[in-house]
Amino acid sequence: MRLMALVDYYLPGFKGGGPVRSVSRLIERLAGDAACFVVTRDRDLGDTQPYAGIARATWLPLGRARVFYADRRHTTGQGLRAIVADVRPDVIYLNSYFSKFARVVLRLHARGRLAGAAVVVAPRGEFSPGALGLKAAKKRAYLTIARIAGLHRGLTWHLTSERERAEVEAALGSAVHAFISRPHIDVPSREAPRRDKKSGTASFAFISRIVPKKNLSGAIEVLRTLKGRATLSIYGPIEDAAYWRRCQGAMSRLPAHVHAEHVGSLPHEGVFDALSRHHFLLLPTLGENFGHVIAEALCAGCPVILSDQTPWTDLEARGAGWTIALRETQRWQETIQRCVDMRSEEFHQMSQRARAYIETVAAESVCANDERDMFEHAIQFERSLNPR
The reported pLDDT for the residue numbered 56 is 95
Residue type, 85: A
Distance between CA atoms of residues 277 and 295, nearest Å:
16
The reported pLDDT for the residue numbered 19 is 82
- Count of beta carbons in the 10 Å neighbourhood of residue 149: 13
The reported pLDDT for the residue numbered 365 is 66
CA atoms within 13 A on the CB side of 42: 18
Tell me the residue ranges of DSSP E strands in 42-131. Answer: 59-62, 65-70, 91-94, 118-121
The reported pLDDT for the residue numbered 173 is 85
Pairing verdict, β 65-70 and 59-62: antiparallel
The reported pLDDT for the residue numbered 370 is 80
**Among candidate residues 143, 298, 284, 150, the one with its CA nearest the CA of residue 217:** 284
Distance between CA atoms of residues 299 and 165, nearest Å:
27
Distance between CA atoms of residues 377 and 370, nearest Å:
10
Q: In what order do the strands lie in the sheet with 65-70?
A: 59-62, 65-70, 35-41, 2-6, 91-94, 118-121, 156-159, 178-180
116: phi > 0 → left, psi -120 to 50 → alpha, else beta; which? Answer: left
Asked if residues 24 and 10 have their Cβ atoms less than 8 Å apart, the reply is yes
In this structure, the chain runs to a length of 388
> pTM (2 decimals)?
0.82
Q: Per residue in 99-141, pLDDT tens?
A: 999 999 999 999 999 989 999 999 988 998 888 988 999 999 9
Q: Is 326 helix (H, G, I), strand (E, B) or coil?
A: coil
Distance between CA atoms of residues 93 and 306, nearest Å:
29
Asked if residues 37 and 43 have their Cβ atoms less than 8 Å apart, the reply is no
Q: What is the DSSP string of 255-295?
A: -TTEEEEEEE---GGGHHHHHHT-SEEEE--S--SS-HHHH
Residue 307 burial (10 A CB sphere; 0-12, 13-18, 19+): buried
DSSP 324: E
The reported pLDDT for the residue numbered 367 is 56
- Count of beta carbons in the 10 Å neighbourhood of residue 259: 15
Asked if residues 130 and 285 have their Cβ atoms less than 8 Å apart, the reply is yes
Beta bridge partners of 332: none
For the chain, give percent helix, strand, coil, nearest 5: 40, 20, 40
Distance between CA atoms of residues 218 and 308, nearest Å:
14
Tell me the residue ranges of DSSP E strands in 145-276. Answer: 156-159, 178-180, 201-207, 229-235, 258-264
Residues of the chain with pLDDT under 70: 365-369, 388
Q: Is 223 helix (H, G, I), strand (E, B) or coil?
A: coil
